[in-house]
Structure 1
């Protein structure tokens, strides 16, 4: 069969044209040049770039959801970061405020799982009265966030709202820890509720007694026989004990360790687990100590390992790190009271006077100073 040189030449010309276009793209490439990368956490890698015309990039998403009545599947989609940052701030705030009401959000999450009648929603969410439900239902219907099959029929989520709501919940799941930090910030702004209203400076020793209270609780439970108080050169103090060590396992459905929950969730302890300062309205637990400290480090000796985590103003600066191995158990907390709140330092004489009082109540607990 004779060769068709004309066709071959056309193909060659096309390939040459494609090659020229590719070379031109490479020569004029304005994509960011990577100078270095840094792993922030297991899901996030920070890439430092050098680029005069910076492309902000995009967010890609897709997924599927199988509800009681419908099954949804979304093909990959993209939103440019520049578009997201240019959204109408007033409208975004209005949407978030509307969904920020717990009962409204609970209604949407409930009907997302399966269509429900008004009475079923009231019963499932323990709302008490249908009148209370009607107020929220009316607002959600008016915003096209809820639909009703017919008058008196089932409520469900509009199909075109399912993915946005799931994406919002997915994004919020990565921000859940901020709710704890907001409470810690409120603690700092309302220190008098914990430290008492006083004409004098707040007493930092109240924080020390609160941390020591954890060692005492371990002793009362039969797991701690010794505790130590060590004043450091930078004004901080360390409280160490030979108890069991705060549990380090990850909490269910989160990436947060139990240690971090203890140090950041104000409600983790009951009132009986807190030290109450004279004149204080609320008890001081170790999360309050963390909030009122400029910096805090915790070391846990447990399960044959040594774990460590650092905090600043109550916010974790690291994950829970494994830093060694050990045959011992116990917990050590080192913290520096925030000088913006506490104007005085720890006084060894004050501590030396208080320790015998504790020893008199718990004679089998040895406290070293």
Structure 2
């Protein structure tokens, strides 16, 4: 969706009119000695407009306004029903598919990989009844023109809130730590350390990492540093988030392929799980001639991925402090040295060092 300059000018003109009325009231109130009061027209609003190309037809929407009191006063029950209906993955996929071009039922089945038409028509019936779909001549389904802008605005808003789904997963992971750490009464703090080390081991097995260093810090945190390729930093397709942020925040994407599995646990520990179970975490990446850094608190990014320097080396350095609410005891040097010997024995070409 491109900018609608005419609509923006109209919105700016309305704001200027409101500002002029406010100034007039302030002048009058000052002369009369009364306390300044806001005029009734000075009410917060949300303005929107734009145009979109849907298939071979262009649609344009004149500037629209929604008063803040109207938005905040929406019927919660009805609003939740709308969001729940659109929150169904298959229904959302159907609406997105027909947004660009009308499709028949069989075309939707093939495009969405539903296998049979029975499940499709169950959703089509619901969307048709809710006036979110229309059936055109030839049996093709399309998004009604008057629903296109609200649907696009909803997708735009969801795009701005996508990261919150990762953060909710983070909180659920913390509340369900036993699924990743086993059912022991006291979680072993070393499990999340070995999960981070395993990612460096994978780099070594792939032939890109010859050194792994562990640094213990006085505040209870620990650093795992390697000289591998460095975690990729480019943005993922169709998103503004770099690969490294997805690696450290997307629980569902990488959980199934997590390299470290605690005996008796239901799920493996990925880097995102380590992040969720840490009070704070910092990742520093050296690759492509630059040094990048990003910090997290309880799994939530505190900044974007920042370029903080240059480097001729490559590798990844992860510093994290396990959450003391989950882990009552710190790292045990004896366990660290014992695991060091296991790695040295298993990987003769790996330099694995511990720095107390």
Q: TM-score range by the shorter chain?
A: 0.7 to 0.9
Q: Deviations over 1:125-177 (max 9, x none)?
A: 22222221221111111111111236x72221122111100110111111112
- Of 237, 241, 249 in structure 1, the residue corresponding to residue 234 of structure 2 is 249
**Map of 2:260 onto structure 1:** 275
Distance in 1 separating the partners of 2:100 and 2:61: 18
Distance in 1 separating the partners of 2:334 and 2:67: 62
1:352 aligns with 2:337: yes
**Map of 1:325 onto structure 2:** 310
**Map of 1:211 onto structure 2:** 196
Alpha carbon RMSD of aligned pairs, Å?
2.4
Structure 1 residues 268, 97: CA separation in 2 closer, same or farther (over 3 Å shift)?
Answer: closer
Query: CA offset at residue 72 of structure 1?
Result: 0.7
Q: Deviations over 1:268-314 (max 9, x none)?
A: 44755511112122111211101111111111111222111111111
- Of 238, 242, 246 in structure 2, the residue corresponding to residue 261 of structure 1 is 246
Secondary structure in structure 2 of the residue aligned to 1:175? helix
**Map of 2:77 onto structure 1:** 90
1:223 aligns with 2:208: yes
Distance in 1 separating the partners of 2:340 and 2:53: 61
1:1-369 matches, cutoff 5 A: 24=24, 27=27, 57-68=44-55, 70-149=57-136, 153-199=139-185, 201-269=186-254, 271=256, 273-369=258-354
Question: What is the number of equivalent residue pairs in this alignment?
Answer: 328
Query: CA offset at residue 366 of structure 1?
Result: 0.9
Query: CA offset at residue 22 of structure 1?
Result: 9.9
**Map of 1:13 onto structure 2:** none
Distance in 2 separating the partners of 1:132 and 1:21: 56
Query: CA offset at residue 23 of structure 1?
Result: 7.3
Distance in 1 separating the partners of 2:286 and 2:309: 9
Higher helix share: 2
Distance in 2 separating the partners of 1:58 and 1:159: 24
Structure ID, larger Rg: 1
Q: TM-score, normalised by structure 2?
A: 0.86
Structure 1 residues 305, 63: CA separation in 2 closer, same or farther (over 3 Å shift)?
Answer: same
Structure 1 residues 350, 53: CA separation in 2 closer, same or farther (over 3 Å shift)?
Answer: farther
Q: TM-score, normalised by structure 1?
A: 0.83
Contact 2:134 2:143 in 1 (8 A): yes
Distance in 2 separating the partners of 1:134 and 1:303: 50
**Map of 1:44 onto structure 2:** none
Contact 2:235 2:243 in 1 (8 A): yes
Structure 2 unaligned residues grouped into runs of 5+: 1-19, 31-35
Secondary structure in structure 2 of the residue aligned to 1:63? strand
Distance in 2 separating the partners of 1:23 and 1:296: 49
Secondary structure in structure 2 of the residue aligned to 1:160? helix
Q: Which stretches of structure 1, 4 residues or longer, exceed 4 Å deviation after superposition?
A: 20-23, 51-56, 270-273
Secondary structure in structure 1 of the residue aligned to 2:251? coil
Structure 1 residues 24, 265: CA separation in 2 closer, same or farther (over 3 Å shift)?
Answer: closer
Structure 1 residues 87, 368: CA separation in 2 closer, same or farther (over 3 Å shift)?
Answer: same
Query: CA offset at residue 28 of structure 1?
Result: 5.4
Q: Deviations over 1:222-266 (max 9, x none)?
A: 111111111111111111111111111112221101110111123
Distance in 2 separating the partners of 1:172 and 1:29: 43
Q: Deviations over 1:16-56 (max 9, x none)?
A: xxxx99974562599xxxxxxxxxxxxxxxxxxxx986966
Query: CA offset at residue 122 of structure 1?
Result: 1.9
Structure 1 residues 368, 111: CA separation in 2 closer, same or farther (over 3 Å shift)?
Answer: same
